[in-house]
């Protein structure tokens, strides 16, 4: 049963990470790419790490993995906000719509 739960977490985490990669490749400008990479990728990596912790069972290694996941969930939005703010102050503009 534990392996099924771990496989579910890993599958959803990998799927969300793949969606984030597609978003980074397809979106037109820096800010929308940053949004795709921060929101979905944070959750994808966290779910992947939780899946690894579940698969490893209750041990010191899984506790460390959970701490890493929590650290990523706390720091990734902050770093993304700072990157977006720096890009805004540097003068990076949004992509223009086609036809304008």
In contact, 50 and 69? CB cutoff 8 Å: yes
CA atoms of 35 and 77, how far apart (whole Å): 10
Residue 15, domain member (yes or no): yes
CA atoms of 66 and 57, how far apart (whole Å): 12
pTM of the model as a whole: 0.79
CA atoms of 36 and 48, how far apart (whole Å): 17
Domain that holds residue 62: 2-90
Phi-psi region of 94 (alpha: psi -120 to 50; beta: other; left: phi over 0): beta
On the question of pLDDT at 99 being above 90, the answer is no
Residue 36, domain member (yes or no): yes
On the question of pLDDT at 95 being above 80, the answer is no
CA atoms of 38 and 34, how far apart (whole Å): 6
Residue 95, domain member (yes or no): no
Residue 94: predicted pLDDT: 80
Residue 97, domain member (yes or no): no
Q: How confident is residue 93, by pLDDT bands cut at 50, 70 and 90?
A: confident
Residue-wise pLDDT tens digits, 5-64:
999 999 999 999 998 899 889 988 888 888 888 888 788 999 999 999 999 989 999 999
Residue 99, domain member (yes or no): no
Residue 96, domain member (yes or no): no
Give the Cβ contact number of residue 45 at 10 Å: 20
Domain count within the chain: 1
């Amino acid at each position: 049963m534990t392996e099924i739960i771990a496989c579910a977490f890993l599958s959803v985490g990998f799927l969300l990470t793949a969606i984030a990669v597609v978003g980074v490749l397809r979106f037109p400008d820096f800010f929308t790419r940053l949004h795709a990479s921060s929101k979905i990728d944070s959750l994808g990596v966290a779910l992947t790490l939780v899946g690894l912790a579940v698969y490893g069972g209750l041990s010191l290694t899984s506790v460390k993995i959970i701490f890493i996941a929590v650290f990523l969930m706390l720091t990734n939005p902050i770093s993304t906000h700072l990157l977006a703010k720096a890009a805004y102050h540097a003068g990076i503009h949004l992509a223009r719509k086609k036809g304008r």
